[in-house]
Amino acid sequence: MPKGKASSSLRVAVAAIFTSFVCVATIVFSVYIPSTKGYFNIGESMVFLSALLFGPYVGAFSGGVGSMLADLILNYPHYAPATLLIKASEGFVVGFLSKHNPKIKSKIKWKAFTVILGIIVGGLLMGIGSTKYSGESELTLGFTTYILTLPREVWLVLGGSAAILISLLGLIADPRLGWAIFSVTLGGLIMVLGYFIYEMFFLGWLFGMQVYAIAEVPANIGQMIIGALVAIPVAKMIRRMFPQISGF
């Protein structure tokens, strides 16, 4: 088989595999949000991972199609059309930015950039988690729902730990970690804005559903942060184990 066709076939296979990963990750862990008729999930981690490892096109396809399939399986069909477009855009942006790392030679600037982003991510996780996800929640694992109570202190510890970990990694191990964080943050904000616009201006008109779009903004930001905390270190570990992925 010619090299170009082999590469295209491999890309299609990888996209199909990560589409299933995105779908499964979205399904197995979700928290229902009654005010928006939507749900919090950890599918973002697989959207980010596919984009960080394999670039914009695999990230866009697996993110859009995998997330849309999860909406349909979990009985959220009113979100499926928007999810296809929003998550595809998110995956594309993350993949594109991760492949276009700016050639800044100063390690001090990279370290400062990473530390600042680490503090921002940790602060957002603490603030959103402690105010929006503490107390009683509905947790779905697979197709089973549980009622649980999360004290706000859990989120303070998680946010503080995330800020310290990201900052230390940037200072000691990988100064350019900040660019990966920036990539997933920008892609994630596109997702947050996309769902806000859809819920604010289209969901009620298309499906006759009253929702409070602002209520899901913290959920989507939290989804973005947790997805980044999972995807970035996993992507780095996989690249070390399989350096040929960098040239994919």
What type of residue is 114? T
- For residue 129, what pLDDT band results from cuts at 50, 70 and 90? confident
Q: Which residue has the tokens 């996209």?
A: 15
How far, in Å, CA of 182 to CA of 214, rounded? 24
Q: Comparing 16-20, 24-28, 82-86, 125-129, which segment has the lowest mean pLDDT? A: 125-129
3-state secondary structure of 205: helix
Write out pLDDT tens, residues 162-186: 788 878 877 776 666 778 888 998 9
| Tokens (6 digits) for 171 | 């200072």
Query: What does pTM read for this prediction?
Result: 0.80
- Contact status, residue 17 vs residue 56, Cβ threshold 8 Å: no
Query: 3-247 has which CATH code?
Result: 1.10.1760.20
CA dist 232 and 192 (Å) reads 19
For the chain, give the percent of residues with pLDDT over 70.
81
d(CA 12, CA 47): 16
Q: What is the pLDDT of residue 9?
A: 80
Domain ranges of the chain: 3-247
Which residue do the tokens 């399986």 mark? 73
Q: How many Cα atoms sit within 13 Å of 185 on the Cβ side? A: 15
Q: Is the pLDDT of residue 156 over 70?
A: yes
Task: Show the DSSP H helices in the chain as ranges.
Answer: 3-28, 44-73, 80-98, 107-132, 152-168, 177-201, 203-207, 213-241
Question: According to the model, what pLDDT value does residue 83 have?
Answer: 96
- Residue 1 pLDDT: 43
Per DSSP, the three-state class of 170 is helix
- Model confidence band, residue 23 (pLDDT cutoffs 50, 70, 90): very high
Mean pLDDT over each residue of the chain, to the nearest integer: 82
Q: Which of 145, 166, 183 is closest to 59 using CA atoms?
A: 183
